[in-house]
Structure 1
Amino acid sequence: MKTRIIEAKQTGDPANWGKFMVMRPDEEWARRSAIDDNPYGPLLRQCGWGPKHIIVFDLQTCEGAAFRPGGFAKADLNKHRIHVCVLFEAFLTWLYVQDLSDLDRLPDVVELDGVPFELYGYRRPGPGEATAGG
Structure 2
Amino acid sequence: RQHLTKEERDVVESSFKINSFSAHPEVILLGALFDPDKNIRRTAVDIIIKDREKRKIGSVRQYIRPTKYLNFNAKSYLELVDLSTIPNSFLTEPPLTFNIKNEEFLKCIEGDLLDIPDIPCHSQNVE
User: TM-score w.r.t. structure 2 length?
Assistant: 0.27
More helix by share: 2
Q: TM-score, normalised by structure 1?
A: 0.26
> Which structure has more strand as a fraction of its residues?
1
